[in-house]
Amino acid sequence: MQTAQIQVTNENGLHTRPGAVFVKACKEFSSSITVENKGRKANAKSLMKLMSAGILKDDVITLTIEGDDEVAAMEKLKVVIENLEG
* Active-site residue set: 15
Compute the distance between CA of residue 2 and CA of residue 58 in angstroms, rounded to an integer.
22
Closest Cα to residue 20, out of 41, 53, 48, 57? 48
Q: What is the DSSP string of 26-68?
A: HTT-SSEEEEEETTEEEETT-HHHHHHT---TT-EEEEEEEST
